[in-house]
Structure formats: structure tokens, C-alpha cells
Structure 1
Amino acid sequence: MAPEPGGVTLVYRLATSGKKILVLERGPFLPREKANWDTKTVFNSDRYHHPEVWYDRNGKEVHPGMSYFVGGSIPRSMVPPSFASGKRTLKPTPTRMASPPPWPLKYRDFEPYYVEAETLYQVHGQSGEDPTEPFRSQEYPYPAVSHEPRIQEISDILRGQGLHPYHTPVGIRLNEAQRYLSECIRCNTCDGFPCLVHAKSDAEVSVVRPWMGQANVTLLTEAKVLKLLTSPSGRAIDRVEVEIRDPESGAVQVQQFSGDLVAIACGAINSTVVMLKSANEQHPQGLANSSGLLGRNFMKHVLGSVIGVSKQPNPTAFQKTLSINDFYWGEDGYDYPLGQIQTLGKVSKEALEGNAEAYAPLTPEQVASHSIDWWLTVEDLPDPENRIRVDGDKIILDYTENNTEPYDRLEQRWIEILKSIECGQEIMPNCSYFVGAGKTYTGKLPLDGVGHQVGTCRFGEDPTTSVLDLNCRTHDIDNLYVVDGSFFCSSGAVNPTLTIIANALRVGDHLLDRWK
């Protein structure tokens, strides 16, 4: 069950083993159509987003805008092609609020798999620019994506102020040396858009297509897993109950499948939901929940954006190339982590038009043509009271934001810097980033924004304090693995995708050894 990159990356690793593998994908292949690059379709409709409704702890509706397509629950239609430096996730650091728990495995255990993940997903970057970068045994497999002139100018100005801007590592199929061979055309419909020319290094392109057609791998689309059924002892998964939708007629039928091993990668929220809904006599609180931690310690990052408008035009098309980690570990007078800053995909007039009043007296066209757009990522902290619950068919995000001060400080600090370099004559809210059901946000992303969901099935050696063992197998059920972001113990202020992919490759090697 693999509606997240971890699942299909695991299949990629196991496909050559000769074992028969059934892949159950909740959604279809993402349609390839002109609307992929239509701003209003992508950001103001449910064409590429599931209209499902979840709920917060007070019963208020949450519209997560999830995208269920082959290769990921938040695929190329939502996730920017930025892997940032996901490795920083593994180094929890005390905050003013709390000290995140240490990871049972260290960076050195994951580093070889990060290298492989960067090659597999064609990550472009340049080592040595980011002063917070951890050790790496190899250079990035592909050169950094160059800045366009206005972004290069900003990078030079920031460096002149003593900061250390660096090229954002991005997974993209771009050949700048031989543009006629490049799948990527460096367009302005990248960040947040499906890629019509399949130039993003998403999971479908990178790891699904290579195993399609192999005789031992079967892909079943529009197959939503309802529950997992255990053996009488409760120590093994016997069958998987699946709702299958016929794409032509829309008819739905329920079938059961069985296998020697079951790996789920439905995303930290939906994997928890499946396990909670699979409660039975042997597992009355949900599968693999003897620790009581299933669904707890849910994290999603504290996220937001800032639009800085300057007098100088910004004609940049592909803007997502610059990052700053100078405040990642804190700043003078504040010895706690703040977070990461990076450029967003360039906002457009069309994206801003639906909220024109937010930009008055400027017009959406004036804002879009003169802005540089920034994304802020701040970690949130593992808290057992932040959890995923189910009430019948309702999915409840029982969550309270717990690391607000660093976000507020980082946002204010960055606004001050933008004004000091004449990139903040006007500071505007970004009211264009889609979070489901036509809903937008101002500044900080609301609970609806769960693209970075992690932490709900923590891994560890002690079955009383973790759901999964070090190989991401559940402590309580011998043949059940979870290979999405659920295993995280903490969540550094970077996109978690690269760590999820690297971990899937690591778990794949464990399974290959197990099968020998």
C-alpha cells in the first residue's frame, strides 16, 4: 500500500528480488493534460486534490487538499521539487519548548542511503555552500540549478551582508549544459503544479516506471485499503481488505488480498487511520499499539510564506533556487533553532487575483511582477497529545501548534532583512497557496497544510516507547512494516521527503537480507 514515495521506493528496491509484489495505490495515474499548467485549475479547484474533509480537535472542518495519485499522496501536484537538506532531520536540538528525543539510528547510518536517494531522484545541488551542511561522502550527483539574474543579484547582496545563501537542492530533470536534451524547460509552472512534461523527479517518474512491466510486480490503482486483518494470534497480517473502484463505471467492490509480508506507506496520517480502524480482539486500541503511541507525536512543521515587493521588477520564471540556513540554529540573543528560508515558485498575477483586496492599493499584477516570494519552515515538536484519532469514518487531527515563537522570530527577522536590502518596500501575505476546497491562507499555513506529516509511528528499540523497531517493522506484528514518514522521532525544519526515501531504501536492504 504505497500512496507516498517511501512505499514505491521500497518496491523499486525489492522489484529485482523475484518475489511477487502487489502494489495497492489509492488513486489513478495523475492525468497528463493542459490543465496541469493552468493556475486556476491547480490552485482554485479540486481537479488534482481529493475533496475529503477531516476535523480538528474542536470538530471544525479541515480541508487537507490531499492528492491521491500513483507514486504519492502528495505528489508533483503539491510538493515543490525541493529536497532542501533533509539530513538535518536526524539531529534533534533542544528548543525553548522542549528537547526532542534522540534518534535510535544516527546520520552515519542513513548517509549512504541519502547518497543513493539523491542519485535515484536526480537531486541537483552544490556542497560546501551551506555552513550547516552535515558530512557527505560524495558530491551531489547533478550540478546546482543556476539562479536567474534577479535571484543571483539577491544572493550576492545577502552574501555581502555576511549571510550564506546557497543553491536549494532540487529533484528535477534539468540539463542546463545541453538544454536541447533537457526534459525540464525551467518554466514558471513548476512549484505546486503537476509537470506536464514529466520533468520533476517525483516518485512515478523516478521509481514507479522502472519496475512497471516486470512480471513479478502488479500495480492495482484506485484501490483504497480499508483495514488489515490479523491471524487468530494477532501476530501476523493474514489479509488486506481493499475497496476497488472501476475507473469506467465508478462501481466499487471490496476484495481481500493476502501475502507473506505487508508494508504500508499511506502517509503518517492515513497509515495511522488504517491501523486504528483495524482494531480487533487482539489489538483493541489499533494494530501494533501496545505502547499506546500509535497516532501520537504527530508533526507537520510550522510553515508560512512572505511576499516581499520591491521597486525593481523580478522577471524570474524558475525562482525556487535559493535557500538560507543562517538562522537555522538560532541568532544572537536566541540560542534555540529558528528554521530555514527558501524562495518559493514565482507567484503569478493569476494566482493572486482571487484575493486582490489583500494586495491593495497594489494590483495583483504589480505585486507578481515586482515580488520575491519566500517560504519559511520551522520544526514543530513531538508531543504525545498531538495525535491522529478516528471516530467512525471521521479522521481527527487532534493537534495544537507548539513551536510558534521561533516561527514568529524567523518571520520578523527575515522581513527586517528584506527591508534592509530594498526587497521589502511592501510586505504582503501569500494568499495563493492552495490548501483544499478553494481555501487559501495568509502568512502561516493552517492545520490544513499537512504535506510534511511525520511521527505517528515512532521507531525505536523499546516496544514500550515506540511502535516500530529499527527496521520499521511493528513490534507487535511480525510481518507488518511502515515505510512512510510515520517513523520519525523528531522533525527538523526541512522537507522530510529525502529522509523518507533514504529510509525506504534502507528498509528494502533489510528485507532483501531477511529473504536470503
Structure 2
Amino acid sequence: MPKSIKKYDICVIGSGAGAGPIIYELSKAGYSVIVMEKGPWYRTKDFTKDEVTAVRRSVYTPNLLDERHVIEDKNSDGEWIGRNTYDTGNDFWNGNCVGGSSNFMSGYFQRFKPIDFRLLSEFGEIEGANVVDWPITYDEMEPYYTKVEKVVGVSGKIVRHKHLEPRSTPDFPYPPLAENIVSSWIDNAARKLDIDIIPMPRAILSQPKEDRNACVYSNYCGSYGCASDAKGSSRVALIHYAIKTGNCTVVPNAKVYHLETNSNKKITKAWYYNVENKKESVYADFFVVAAQASETSRLLLMSKNKEFPNGLSNNHGQVGKNFIFSAGGIGGGEFYLDNLSKDDAQALSLPGVFVNRTIHEYYQYTDPETGKKLKGGTIDFLFEHANAMTKAINQKWDEYGNLKYGSSFKKELKDYFTNVRKLKFEVFVDWLPTDNCFVTLDPKVKDKWGDPVAKIRIGNHPHDIKVGKFLASQGEKVLETMGAKNIYSGISGAPPSNLQAGGCRFGNDPETSVLDKNCKSHEVDNLYISDGSFMPTGGSVTYTWTIYANSFRVADKILERMKGKR
């Protein structure tokens, strides 16, 4: 390497939840950190609550004409068919900008539970699923969950229940956010059904923290950037403070496409396209990849050379395998304001304040058909999103699939917007890893730089549907007890593209995993992977808190090695 070229202590590829803690901790410790982010660098002032910008036109993700995926799913004949997302519009991108998709999350934060770390030991093998235990325990992760609460900022209230995870602190550092009256209705219904209902923790500040403001209850949270910096994105909660140390350099609009290794099987530099689409490289002692799971596998598969002919860290053929999403589905019901008292109708209509209720009663349950103990999941309650255009579009078809129109439809829309409040629930259960859910490179479809795009096969296990339907039926019971109308639910095998993990499992055996227990590559000594790729199984809650916590854990492991070199 020429002496005139700077070599960094660590190069981090990506800047979301899997990257932020490492960027933050290494910068604070005095090490030189360079962050390579494929997307632009938006500041808080750049985020808008405009539905056209944020949702309808997906401004914060790449144009599918330039960058796309190929999604492989079964057709009606049972054949696997790949479809280009530019043709289908089924976008698998999530927040390509500094801070990644953590800018646009709703901030529902729930810990994995001890049984999530030992799924195989607790519930045994499931035919057709590649279920394993994690190489670490919940107790090893717990201090880092607690660290996220303090550093990123989590608001909530601990309520004792039978599936509560062990904690080293009695409660969250920030009190609960303001709640809508409907939360008390859910509580009352749960009591009647004799089930535990608990407040939902949120990675949203209820009180100011340093130079971040508290939540302003804008009514536009999920899918939108935060106007007050209350939401705990990697950008505002971590990278902002890393930059303040003077040790962190962020390079936006830098698409890394190849990691170059030497004869000792160590990465020497990362090649990337700069904002002018010219090729450049960056040197570092250590490299961390946290580009979101599908793109992390893609980068490794593209980084071929004579030492790694099948892709970086892929001499055992494990990169891209055992890809997972979050399984489950949705449900909901409607409350008509003209059926309520004036005070209740006014309170229910109040925008901005949250529902923040979740059921963990069925995280483990007995199968009513077989009597066997099964891993279950969670049911999270929330209002229908405030997006006006989306709400209107969702009303345009009748129950038989016919298009509604004319004066009667106008009247129906007016009534829906002025007299109806829809309460929804989301079901989260394990997406079991299988041989039919994985990431490869598409041999034909390229991105705008001429690189092969990721092809994602999205096969799911029927067990996911079975468990999801059980949870959905319990969610419906709560709505029925509340007196909701037009209750429905649906459990699907279609994956939520914003909740992806796996592809670079951690484990103790290089034959069956890409990473060791510290998320260091088995095959490349200076490579770490810290986004959701490391997860061998996905739990029954959203991933972000666990990704944050694990990244803080990995930061400590890297720091231990760094200190040994000084």
C-alpha cells in the first residue's frame, strides 16, 4: 500500500442498526473508523411527512430501474419462478441512506427470550426445517440489550408476566409514551379473557436525551424519518456522536462491490463506486459488513478470488443459506365513532398518541390438536397507518373483488375517514429456516453498475402458517371482546421485506456456519458481520433490538483484539 494512502483501523460497510454500535464504540475508543454507505446522507431537516415522497414514491430506497432484486417463489404448479422486482414492484429495499432502515422503523422494541437462543433444545427437530441452537446464551446478550435501552433510548414500563425475560435492571430508562384511550379498552378485554397484556416498549424518547428531543406525536412514524430525533435510529443515536469524536469518517453514495484479500486470506481493501460512479478503494485493518442481510450475502458472493472461488468466506458453501424473514400476518377490526359516547369518540379520534400493547401469553403454548409444546409468538396492537392515500386505495374494492366508484363510494370514503377508527394487530412468529429460503447471485440481471443482483428464494415452512393462524385467532378474540366490528385476520407465507435476517449464520462449526460466536468469519480473520445476517433463527418479535444489542457485543469483541495490537 502506498504511504500516501490512509489506512483506517476499521472499515464499516453499511450504517444501520448492525453498523451503528460498532461505529459508535470504536470511534469513542479512539480508533479511526470509515463508514461506507451506499445511499445518500439525509439530515433530520430533509425528512418529510409527505406520503407521496416517503411511501408512494419510495424516495429513500433505490430506483428499481437502477437497482433491483429477483424474487424466486413457487407458482401454482410448484415450480420455482424468479421475478424481477422492477417488473413486479415488490420492493425489497429498506432505507438506503445513512442510518439505514432504522430511520424509518416504527421502533417496536422487544427482546428475544431465552428459549429463542435454544430453539432446537427446547422444541426438538421439525422436519424440513434447519433449526439449531445459538452458540451464545440469552445471559451473554442481556447486558447489551440493557445498553441499547440506555444509549439508543427505549421508553416503556415493565409489567410482570410468565414470559418476561430476565433483566439486570428493574425498568426502562424512559417512561412510557402517551397512549390512546383504546389501550385501556385492550387491557379490559385481556382481563376478561384472563390473558396478560403488556405495554409495548418503543425506541422513541418520551423525554429529551442529550441533544435529541422527545417525541412530538406527529402521527407519522413508521416509514417516515423522525422530525424530532426522538426515534432511536443509528444515524441520530449513534453515528451523530461518533462523528463528534473526530475519529469517524462517513462516505455516502459509496457502493462497495468487492472485498479484496491477500494470500493470507485477510481483507486488505474494499472496492467501491463513488458518487460519480468511479472505482475507488479504502484500506483498513478490520472490516465489518452490515449492509442488510440480503445485500451482505450478495457482497460476499461477489467477492470471489482464487482463495475464495465461490465467494468470500464461502468455502463451505454457507453464504446466503438459511435466509429468514419474520413470519406471521395481520388482523384488525373497526370502531364506529357514532356508536360511542361523545367523550370516548373524541378520545379515540385523537391522532399521534400510541396504542403500545402487545400479548406474549402465547410465546409458548400447547398445540390443541396434538397436545405438543410449541413455540408461539407475539400479537402487537396498533392503529391503521395514517397514510390517507393508502387508506383510500385500500377501500376501492368490495368483498367480491369489484371496483367501487361513484357517489356511493364517495359517501363510503367520507364515512370511513370521519366515523371509523381501525385497530389492527400484527402477528410475529418464527420463520423457520429451510433449504428453500436463500440468497444467490442472479446470472442475468445486473444493477446499474453491471454487478449481478441478489436473487432471493422465499420458500417458507408450513409450520409457520399453522402457528401464525393460532396467534391470529387469539388476536381476533381480543377485538371481539372489545366490541370491534368487521373483524378479520390473514396469515400468509409472503415475507415482509423489511424484516430479513440470516444468510451468514453464526455457530461453532465452519461446515454449517459462516461466522463464529463473535460474528467473525471462520475463514477470514479480519472480517466481521454484524447485521441480521448472523441469526440462525429469528425469534417471534421484530429483529432491530437484537441486531443493535449484538452489534454492541461484537464491538466489544473487536475492541479486545484492537487493544491487543496497540
**Fold shared by both chains (TM-score > 0.5):** yes
C-alpha displacement of 1:355: 2.5
Would the alpha carbon gap of residues 148 and 108 (structure 1) be closer, same or farther in structure 2, given more than 3 Å must change?
same
Are residues 142 and 264 of structure 1, via their aligned partners in 2, closer, same or farther at CA, if it must alter by over 3 Å? Answer: same
TM-score between both structures, scaled by the size of structure 1: 0.89
Instruction: Measure, in 2, the Cα distance between the counterparts of 1:209 and 1:365.
Output: 44
Q: Which position in structure 2 is the counterpart of 1:315?
A: 349
Q: Distance in 1 between matches of 2:26 and 2:323?
A: 29
Letter of the 2:558 partner, please give it. Answer: L
Paired with 1:286 and 1:129, the residues of 2 have a C-alpha distance of 47
Counterpart selection for 1:192 from 223, 234, 237: 223
Residue-pair matches, total: 491
* Structure 2 contact 183–355 (Cα < 8 Å) conserved: no
Contact 2:304 2:310 in 1 (8 A): yes
Indicate the residue corresponding to 2:480 in structure 1. Answer: 419
- Alpha-carbon distance in structure 2 between the residues aligned to 1:217 and 1:356: 48
Could you tell me how far apart the structure 1 residues matched to 2:132 and 2:245 are? 41
Distance 1:116 1:260, change over 3 A: same
The CA RMSD measured in Å over matched residues stands at 2.5
CA contact 1:167–1:321 (8 Å) conserved in 2 = yes
Residue equivalent to 2:361:
326
> 2:110·2:542 contact (CA, 8 Å) conserved in 1?
yes
1:379 pairs with 420, 430, 433, which one? 430
* Aligned partner letter, 1:380: W
Q: What whole-Å deviation, never above 9, does each CA across 1:214-254 have from its counterpart, x for those lacking one?
A: 33221111111111011034x10011001111xxxxx3211
Task: Indicate if the aligned counterparts of 1:69 and 1:75 stay in contact, CA closer than 8 A.
Answer: no
Match in the other structure for 2:460: 401
The answer as to whether partners of 2:37 and 2:250 remain within 8 angstroms in 1 is yes
TM superposition shift of 1:114: 0.9
Comparing 324-333 and 63-72, the one that deviates more: 324-333
Deviations 1:55-78 (A, max 9, x none): 122112342142111112x2322x
- Is 1:300 the counterpart of 2:325 in the alignment? yes
The letter for the 2-side match of 1:160 is K
Distance of aligned partners of 1:299 and 1:329 in 2 relative to their CA distance in 1, 3 Å threshold: same
1:383-417 superposed Cα distances (whole Å, 9 cap, x missing partner): 23311010241311112111221112222332243
The one-letter code sitting in structure 2 at the alignment partner of 1:379 is: D
Matching of residues 130-169 of structure 1 within 5 Å: 130-138=161-169, 139-169=171-201
- Structure 1 residues 359 and 416: CA distance shift in structure 2, 3 A: farther
How far residue 29 of structure 1 moved from its aligned partner, in angstroms, is 2.1
Q: CA deviation at 1:331?
A: 4.9
Percentage identity across paired residues of the two chains: 24
CA separation in 2, counterparts of 1:332 and 1:258? 54
Cα separation, 2, equivalents of 1:35 and 1:256 = 31
Which of 261, 266, 269 is the aligned partner of 2:294?
269
Contact persistence 2:213–2:228 (CA under 8 A): no
Secondary structure in structure 2 of the residue aligned to 1:468? coil
Tell me, what secondary structure is at the counterpart of 1:470?
Answer: coil
2:255 matched residue in structure 1? 224
Q: Decide whether the 8 Å contact of 2:158 with 2:199 is kept in 1.
A: no
Unaligned residue ranges in structure 1 (runs of 5+): 246-250, 430-441
Q: Deviations over 1:425-484 (max 9, x none)?
A: 10357xxxxxxxxxxxx864834x322211111111221121111111101111111111
Letter in 1 for 2:319: L
Q: Would you say 1:76 and 2:124 are equivalent positions? A: no
Structure 1 residues 47, 445: CA separation in 2 closer, same or farther (over 3 Å shift)?
Answer: farther
> Deviation of residue 191 (structure 1)?
2.5
**Are the aligned partners of 1:150 and 1:315 in contact in 2 as well (CA < 8 Å)?**
no
Q: What aligned pairs does 1:77-476 form with structure 2 within 5 A after superposition?
A: 77=104, 79-87=105-113, 89-92=116-119, 93-94=122-123, 98=129, 100-138=131-169, 139-175=171-207, 183-233=214-264, 235-245=265-275, 251-311=276-336, 312=340, 313=345, 314-317=348-351, 318-331=353-366, 333=368, 335-348=373-386, 349-358=388-397, 363-364=412-413, 366-367=415-416, 369-392=420-443, 393-402=452-461, 403-423=464-484, 425-427=485-487, 444=492, 446-447=494-495, 449-476=496-523
- Unpaired runs of 5+ residues, structure 2, are 1-12, 73-80, 86-90, 400-408, 444-451
Q: Is the 8 A contact 1:191 1:345 kept in 2?
A: no
2:84 to 45, 61, 69: 61
Q: Deviations over 1:359-402 (max 9, x none)?
A: 67894554453211211112111223311010241311112111
Separation in 2, partners of 1:365, 1:173: 35
Q: Is the 8 A contact 1:320 1:342 kept in 2?
A: no
- SS of 2:322's equivalent in the other structure is coil
- AA in 1 matched with 2:61: H
86-95 vs 300-309, which moves further: 86-95
Kindly indicate whether the alpha-carbon contact (under 8 Å) linking 1:458 and 1:489 is maintained by their aligned counterparts in 2.
Answer: yes
Q: Which position in structure 1 is the counterpart of 2:560?
A: 513
Report if the CA contact (8 A) 2:47-2:224 is conserved: no
What TM-score, normalized to structure 2? 0.81
- What is the alpha-carbon distance in structure 1 between the residues aligned to residue 93 and residue 300 of structure 2? 22
1:490 aligns with 2:537: yes
Structure whose alpha-carbon radius of gyration is higher? 2
Contact 1:316 1:346 in 2 (8 A): no
Which residue is 1:436 aligned to? none
C-alpha distance in structure 2 between counterparts of 1:156 and 1:211, whole Å: 45
Deviation at 1:154, TM superposition (A): 1.9
TM superposition shift of 1:491: 0.8
Residue identity opposite 1:61 in structure 2: N
TM-superposition CA deviations, 1:3-33 (whole Å, max 9, x none): 3211121111111222221111111223545
Q: Contact 2:15–2:235 (CA<8 Å) still a contact in 1?
A: no
Change in CA separation of 1:31 and 1:14 when aligned onto 2, cut-off 3 Å: closer
Please tell me whether the aligned partners of residues 469 and 491 of structure 2 are also in contact (alpha carbons under 8 angstroms).
Answer: no
Where 2:18 maps in the other structure, the secondary structure is helix
Distance 1:327 1:6 in 2: 29
User: What is the letter of the counterpart of residue 378 of structure 2?
Assistant: Q
Query: What code does the residue aligned with 2:183 have?
Result: I
Greater share of strand residues, 1 or 2? 2
- Return the letter of the residue paired with 1:56: I
More divergent stretch after superposition (62-71 vs 409-418): 409-418
Partner of 1:439: none
Paired position in structure 2 for 1:248: none
Q: Which whole-Å CA distance do the structure 1 matches of 2:493 and 2:242 have between them?
A: 36
SS of match in other structure, 2:278: strand
**Deviates further, 222-231 or 141-150:** 141-150
Structure 1 residues 366, 397: CA separation in 2 closer, same or farther (over 3 Å shift)?
A: farther
